[in-house]
């Protein structure tokens, strides 16, 4: 497993499906943009994977191919949100003066995504972090883990999937885990400024 894209989509759908509460609006929208490889395209992304197999991280691979670390744009996403009547303050569609468009909660770890949408006129009232499920487990048990939990975390296959009961809406639950994925997630935090707390390494557990 090389990225957490599928897991993030799965978690976004789960969060959107939750009933209304103090912590959930009970509704939402998933906007899909064809920007594979952070905007460099599918073919270049495959080439980037080859460079990652040689030891480069995801940012270095893009740069070596002559691309930026992240070439995505969000003007089309902003236009879709505006067309749906989302993310803008003011009178609601249909002339209802009692209803207003109050902005959006954005599911992302990427500060550039927030800034780009705001630059396009989208009001982001809250950012909700998308914590990798394998990291959620580590954040919950940062110091010590029970023996059965340690066994549960043992992964022999590089792209193995950890089962997390009830964690997902689709496919019965699962947390992606692997050496390549771990390196990718840490690179996004350390080199691209994604807003996530790195988990405490397992070697420091006592």
Active site residues: 70, 72
The one-character DSSP state at 104 is E
Nearest to 203 by CA among 133, 121, 134, 138: 138
How many Cα atoms sit within 13 Å of 164 on the Cβ side?
Answer: 21
Nearest-CA neighbor of 192 among 2, 60, 75? 60
> How many Å apart are CA 165 and CA 149, to the nearest integer?
13
Q: Which residues contact 83 (CB under 8 A, 6 or more apart)?
A: none
Pairwise CA distance, residues 80 & 87, whole Å: 10
Q: How far apart are CA 26 and CA 14, in angstroms?
A: 10
In contact, 67 and 44? CB cutoff 8 Å: yes
Return d(Cα 19, Cα 15) in angstroms, integer: 9
């Amino acid at each position: 497993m090389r990225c957490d894209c599928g897991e993030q989509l799965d978690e976004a759908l789960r969060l959107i499906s939750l009933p209304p509460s103090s912590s959930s609006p009970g509704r939402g929208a998933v906007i899909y943009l064809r920007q594979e490889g952070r905007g460099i395209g599918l073919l270049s992304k495959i080439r980037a994977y080859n460079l990652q197999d040689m030891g480069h991280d995801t940012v270095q691979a893009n740069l070596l191919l002559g691309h930026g670390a992240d070439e995505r744009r969000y003007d089309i996403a902003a236009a879709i949100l505006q067309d749906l009547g989302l993310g803008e303050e003011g009178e609601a569609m249909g002339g209802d003066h009692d209803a207003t468009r109050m902005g959006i909660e954005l599911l992302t770890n990427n500060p550039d995504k927030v800034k780009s949408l705001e630059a396009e006129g989208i009001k982001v009232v809250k950012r909700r972090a998308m914590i990798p499920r394998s990291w959620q487990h580590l954040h919950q048990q940062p110091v010590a883990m029970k023996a059965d939990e340690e066994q549960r975390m043992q992964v022999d296959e590089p792209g193995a999937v950890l089962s997390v009961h009830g964690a997902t809406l689709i496919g019965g639950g699962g947390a992606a885990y692997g050496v390549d994925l771990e390196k990718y997630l840490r690179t996004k935090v350390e080199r691209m400024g994604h807003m996530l707390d790195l988990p405490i390494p397992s070697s420091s557990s006592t």
